[in-house]
Amino acid sequence: MINTEKFVERRNILKLSQSDLCKDICTQSTLSKFENQQSVPTFEIMVQLCERLGLTLDDVFPVSRTHSVNQNEQYLKRLQHVLFHQDGQLAATLLAEADLNQFSHDEQNDYWLLSYFHLVILKLDFAQAHAIQKKLANRQLGAIQAVFFQATTMFYYHLKEDRRRANSIFSKLSQQQNQIDFSQQVGLQMGIFYLLAEFQLQNQNFSVAAQIAADGIDVAKINSTTLFLENFYWQLAQVGEQYHYQQIIMNELIESARIIAKIHNNQLILLSIQNYQASKAEVSNGQSKRNAKEDYNISFSGN
């Protein structure tokens, strides 16, 4: 369900007319049709409108729930959003607050999976990650949980430069992809797309990375979520740099990544964009260009 009432209320509070809000973004007719629930603008337009109003897409496109959310679910949802918006410091604080004795078996699975993701992707702490990896390997995981675990493990081996194991896991996940029911656990689902695309990007399999990132954007739109969207657009921009996309396309991809990262307060993506711009300046001055993995390690170090 689309929360147009909150959208219109926010515009009125800011005392913005429709023409003020949509200036340089879309036509007034497009905005009017949206506020009257006649049509929904493109994703890019909605991102810019929400940014101007100080809203997130999740405010306007809330995920419908058929049952009340208990305290543990609220905690796990918040932890997932913090992690997937890549705020390593706040994630570490939340992880330390958990009382696992109050969690069900499935909730404990989610907690350990998110902790594993945090250690591998944000902290690059392979020693602690390996301990949780062994714990998860002995737990009974649901279908999506198991795929997320394998995708994170693939990236764990990738960062440890164990190409054989990493490539083996990717191959298995690719074969299973059409058999996976992605109708549940949207957050973990988006994490899987991100990890697969980033793995291929860092291995310089650019066409595969682009296809996975584009699929991630499509699935995000279907599920009305913004999780990892800035990452997907940034991944496509990095592919575009390799394939020499037209500058107007590059600008759109980078700006989409920047806007969503700003909405999510994803400082790592914003830093990656800054690193890219600095790298472009270095190349123009005759200095060597970093590869995707080097940029990744620079962006994620210290979190």
Domain ranges in the chain are 4-60, 71-300
pLDDT digits (tens, 9 = 90+) for 153-169: 999 999 999 999 999 99
Q: What is the pLDDT of residue 228?
A: 96
Q: What is the average pLDDT across 221-248?
A: 93
Residue 301 pLDDT > 50: no
pLDDT digits (tens, 9 = 90+) for 250-284: 999 999 999 999 999 999 999 999 988 888 777 76
Residues in CB range of 23: below 8 A, 6 or more apart: none
Q: Model confidence over 11-21: pLDDT tens digits?
A: 998 999 999 99
Domain at 4-60, CATH homologous superfamily: lambda repressor-like DNA-binding domains (1.10.260.40)
How many Cβ atoms from other residues are within 10 Å of residue 255's Cβ? 16
**pLDDT at residue number 67:** 41
Report d(CA 27, CA 18) in Å as an integer.
9
Cα separation, 115 vs 110, whole angstroms: 8
Contact of 272 with 234, CB cutoff 8 Å: yes
The DSSP line for 55-68 is --HHHHSPPP-SS-
Which is nearest to 258 in space by CA: 239, 271, 244, 247?
A: 271
pLDDT band at residue 77 under the 50/70/90 scheme? very high
Least confident of 110-124, 150-164, 264-278, 285-299: 285-299
Among 49, 54, 52, 51, CA closest to 35: 49
- What CATH homologous superfamily does 71-300 map to? Tetratricopeptide repeat domain (1.25.40.10)
- Mean pLDDT of the region 211-240: 93
